[in-house]
Chain A
Amino acid sequence: MATLTTRTTTSGLIALGLAGAVAFLALWTLLALSGVVQKQFLPTPLGVLQRFVELTQSPFVGHTLQQHLLSSLGRFGMGFGLAAVIGVSLGLAMGWFRWLDEIVTPFFDAVRFIAPIAWVPFAALWFGTGIGGPTLIIFAGAFPPALINAYRGAKFVDVRLLEAARMLGTPGWKIVTHVLLPASVPSIVAGLRISAGLGWQSLVGAELIVASSGIGYLMVKGQASISTATVMAGMVAIGLVGVLIDVILRRVEAGIHRRRGRGE
């Protein structure tokens, strides 16, 4: 990798990074303060930070920022949990029972290209705008990676393990739970990380359209009252939580790899 670039000292790189950050913030602040753009449409970075703190203390459209986030996380947990449980078990079962694979795969391929967000109208029609509707949309986003990775994990299990299990007379469903599941845990967890990312994204979309609380709803209301600072504070919150979810799942993934002696 050293051949790739001209050598620069670490401190030099840090300085450049700081310069980049400062340039970005300075340009933004100048643009906001110069009056070229109305303040309502472009708050300063400090203004966004202030608004963020303000939102955590005084309620906006009924709740504080934390309460909105909690209600979002509740929906996310439901949708993601359902997608993980159904996706992983179906994926593993498809990896073992060929008939199931052959029946499900065409349907799965048929709906795969439908963007999760396109489920919004049916979600609202079937489950309303409380917790059910958004949950369906998160489910639609998080389900495919969970299923695909469990399926792949099951398909690439060491054949010797399977032959041994069969020789010992293990029934099919027990092979799924006792051989395929443990052997494909790394693949499953990798899939769940992708699921969580897509689920969180879909949640935001869902709340922009069909919800009456939550972080997406907060942003919609901020948008309606042309409070750019509120919208931006919402974006910051969404980004932070998204990163947090990813960090947690990375930890889990690393822990599993370590326990399995892969040392990653």
Chain B
Amino acid sequence: MATARSTPGGASRGRRAVWVGAAAFAVALVLWYVLTTLTGVIGSARFPSPPEVFAAFRQLALDGYADGRLHQHVLHSSKLVLMGFAAAVTAGVPLGLAMGWSRRVEAFVNPIFLTIRPVPPLAWIPLAIVWLGLGDAAKVMVIWFAAFVPSVINAYTGVRSIEPYLLEASRMLGVRGWSFVREVLLPAALPHIFTGLRLSLQASWTTLVAAELVGAALGLGKVLNASAQDIFPAMILIGMVFVGIAGGVMTCTLALVEARAAPWRQG
């Protein structure tokens, strides 16, 4: 076992892990079926049985629930996340770069930024509702604040962690102005920027789900909210599953973009 430990995640343990994992899943599924459908130890008012979940999935996908079908909810939520995320990143990354580059900008902006920073993203929800109501604008505002802070912080760290010799070399070679930003600053800070984007995206998604839970016309959070009010556990579970799937797909997509845009990160 000592040899396996020294190579965590190594190829040798891969196959066994897959089998054990699959077996564990199978056992869990059987257990779920036995506890709910067969014996009824867990009542369906507390946790749904497999057939109920399947029926709920069919209903959501084909007939619609909470004023929309599955793809409409997913598309609506994704659209809002992308809007808020894009707006936050376009503002946050340049600001972070500027703060990292110039101590003066940092000194000037910090009082404002340090006021916003400790406020958890979800705490903007009531303010957004007072200002903009329960519509899409309020959601985008909340997502903006959720995604803004990590994108600023990591762009800032990215600039600050550039090796001094890179800067000296580029200065000596007379690279300045726009070409300096494009050829030196951005590529060097890109790995950190992407870390920030990943954190921003996750925060955006969590925050949107919360905002939709509080009140929305459409979206996965609305599905969760409606199913909670109808006491419809099967639909709650389906809602959670798709919140997870959509979040996972977004994170993976960003990882793919990152591999394309910053291939020098691995290596």
Contact = CB atoms under 8 A, between A and B. Distances in A.
Contacts of A201: 120-122
The 3 closest A-B CB pairs, nearest first, are A121-B228, A21-B111, A239-B118
Nearest to B251: A113
Interface string A15-56: 011111100100000000000000001000000000000000
A5 B244 contact: no
Contacts of B225: 121
B179 to A, nearest CB: 18
Given A102-B20, A105-B17, A166-B2, A118 B110 contact: no
Contacts of A122: 233, 236, 240
Interface in A193-250: 200-202, 204-205, 208-209, 216, 219-220, 222-223, 226, 228, 231-232, 234-235, 238-240, 242-243
A208 B104 contact: no
A114 B102 CA distance: 39
Interface in B33-71: 46
Nearest to A116: B206
A231 B107 contact: no
Nearest to B27: A103
A159 B5 contact: yes
Size category of the binding interface on chain B: 35 or more
Contacts of B233: 122, 125
Interface in A101-159: 101-103, 105-107, 110-122, 124-126, 155, 159
B30 interface: no
Contacts of A242: 118-120
A200 B251 CA distance: 23
Given A114-B244, A117-B206, A126-B46, 15 more contacts: A3-B164, A3-B168, A4-B162, A19-B108, A20-B109, A24-B112, A102-B13, A103-B20, A113-B251, A114-B243, A120-B228, A125-B228, A163-B2, A208-B122, A222-B126
6 contacts: A4-B167, A24-B112, A107-B28, A204-B123, A239-B120, A239-B123
A239 B145 CA distance: 14
B21 A119 contact: no
Given A13-B104, A125-B228, A223-B126, A240 B205 contact: no
B209 A117 contact: yes
Given A20-B111, A115-B209, A13 B46 contact: no
B111 A24 contact: yes
A41 B131 contact: yes
B228 A113 contact: no
Contacts of A168: none
A1 B115 CA distance: 26
B248 interface: yes
B25 interface: yes
A209 B126 CA distance: 11
A8 interface: yes
B198 to A, nearest CB: 13
Interface of A: 1, 3-6, 8, 12-14, 16-21, 24, 41, 98-99, 101-103, 105-107, 110-122, 124-126, 155, 159, 162-163, 166, 200-202, 204-205, 208-209, 216, 219-220, 222-223, 226, 228, 231-232, 234-235, 238-240, 242-243
A115 B107 contact: no
Contacts of A116: 206
Contacts of A238: 119-120, 123
Contact of B247 (A113, A163, A209): A113
A245 to B, nearest CB: 10
B4 interface: yes
A105 B106 CA distance: 42
Nearest to A115: B206
A113 B126 contact: no
A118 B240 contact: yes
Contacts of B131: 41, 228
